[in-house]
Amino acid sequence: MINEPKNMRPHVVILGAGASVAAFPQGDASGKKLPTMDNLIEVVGLRPILDDSAVDYHNQNFEELYSQLYEKEPNSTLIRTIENTIRNYFEGLQLPEEPTLYDHLMLSLRPKDIVATFNWDPFLHDVWERHRYTVPVPEVHLHGNVRIACCIEHQVQGENGMYCPHCDEKMTPSRLLYPVAIKNYADLFINKQWEMIESCLRSAFTLTIFGYGAPETDKEAFELMTKAWKGKSPRELETMEIIDTKEKQYLMERWKPFIPTFHCMHSKDFYKSGIAHFPRRSCEGLYVPTVLGKFAEPFLTPKEMNFKELMSWLEPLIEAERLMAKEA
């Protein structure tokens, strides 16, 4: 498989907060902790802000709490302070210089594949930027991102701080927070991102869900993904994979609409997943045993290598892909 890649349909990878936590267990380059929705109020420093406004936030889901505050007074100083505090914290996160799990993930995929994230943190985009000229893999931000901005009028996307090449106006940072009641993905930037991932899901060969729990506050997102995944077929034969620390039985029940015949692999560790076992050949790693009935010998992602060693190790895989493209 290393020397004989196949021209296969995309591998779609969807990331949730659990993926970033797994990728950066010690925090960012300076040890700054990566928050989840469960500890966001504490980690980003919202507690004193909410206390000063006499807001009862105990035992509440943050998104639901934000929605309640937004519905009461959407243009309040409190809402702006919450939004700015969250954005400033995430904008300040810095990618470590050494290879991370996200580097291994992106380098293990090919330009035909795509990674979509629900996360606000900058790490996926920063890794994409680090490798964009050597192994470009498309990225999609389904809930906005602190590194991404856009010009709505001209439908142009770029990095935060960039100017639109058409009107020379500074692009608008993508929105991060949406009240649950109006999280209908009607925002033009978010809508464009969803169009991309839905198109890829319809044509995907396989799907990996990494650290995304599909909470009730994302009910519409779950429905959109399910509809797109089954857009061209009922997916009765396809195999998908879930990378999550939760138990398999719970996950099978949670993702039942995606896996009607329970053709699903489960791993609690990215480095034990199909992507890590067959880097840049993840679809072939499924196709060979399930369709051709042959044994597929894994060749694991070497997670201890530095960038120079890692790129040298990957070069035969990438060169085989170049040859395949020339012969096509």
- Please report, for the domain that includes residue 271, its CATH number: 3.40.50
18 occurs within a structural domain: yes
Q: What percent of the chain has pLDDT over 70?
A: 97
Mark whether 215 and 235 lie in a shared domain. yes
Which range has the worst mean pLDDT, 1-10, 90-99, 166-175? 1-10
167 occurs within a structural domain: no
The pLDDT of residue 174 is: 93
Say if strands 148-151 and 156-159 run parallel, antiparallel, or are unpaired: antiparallel
Mark whether 47 and 134 lie in a shared domain. no
Mark whether 128 and 255 lie in a shared domain. yes
- C-alpha–C-alpha distance, residues 300 and 283, integer Å: 15
pLDDT surpasses 70 at 57: yes
183 occurs within a structural domain: no
Mark whether 84 and 211 lie in a shared domain. no
Mark whether 134 and 55 lie in a shared domain. no
282 close to 9: Cβ distance less than 8 angstroms: no
2 occurs within a structural domain: no
Nearest to 96 by CA among 27, 15, 17: 27
The pLDDT of residue 29 is: 98
Mark whether 245 and 117 lie in a shared domain. yes
Mark whether 299 and 213 lie in a shared domain. yes
The pLDDT of residue 61 is: 83
145 close to 120: Cβ distance less than 8 angstroms: yes
- C-alpha–C-alpha distance, residues 201 and 230, integer Å: 8
- Per residue in 113-162, pLDDT (tens digit) is 999 999 999 999 999 999 999 889 999 999 999 999 999 889 899 999 99
Mark whether 241 and 287 lie in a shared domain. yes
DSSP structure string for 42-61: HHTT-HHHHHHTT---TT--
The pLDDT of residue 179 is: 82
> Taking the alpha carbons of 54, 58, 62, 66 in that order, is the dihedral positive or negative?
negative
- Per residue in 67-95, pLDDT (tens digit) is 999 999 999 999 999 999 999 999 999 99
166 occurs within a structural domain: no
298 close to 277: Cβ distance less than 8 angstroms: yes
- Per residue in 273-284, pLDDT (tens digit) is 999 999 999 999
- By residue range, what is the domain housing residue 252? 11-26+97-142+205-327
pLDDT surpasses 70 at 185: no
302 occurs within a structural domain: yes
pLDDT surpasses 90 at 228: yes
The pLDDT of residue 180 is: 73
Mark whether 279 and 214 lie in a shared domain. yes
128 close to 63: Cβ distance less than 8 angstroms: no
DSSP assignment, residue 33?
P
Strand partners, 5: none
Contacts of 129 (CB under 8 A, 6+ apart): none
How does the average pLDDT of the chain come out, rounded? 93
The pLDDT of residue 152 is: 85
The pLDDT of residue 283 is: 95
32 occurs within a structural domain: no
Q: Where are the alpha helices (DSSP H) in 138-238?
A: 188-203, 219-229
Predicted confidence band at 235 (pLDDT cuts at 50, 70, 90)?
confident
The pLDDT of residue 218 is: 85
The pLDDT of residue 135 is: 87
pLDDT surpasses 70 at 43: yes
Count of domains observed in the chain: 2
Mark whether 241 and 272 lie in a shared domain. yes
The pLDDT of residue 262 is: 65
Which range has the worst mean pLDDT, 78-92, 95-109, 157-171, 251-265? 251-265
The pLDDT of residue 181 is: 63
The pLDDT of residue 257 is: 85
Strands (E) located in the chain: 11-15, 114-117, 139-141, 148-151, 156-159, 172-173, 206-210, 240-243, 264-267
Mark whether 138 and 217 lie in a shared domain. yes
118 occurs within a structural domain: yes
Mark whether 22 and 71 lie in a shared domain. no
pTM of the entire structure? 0.94
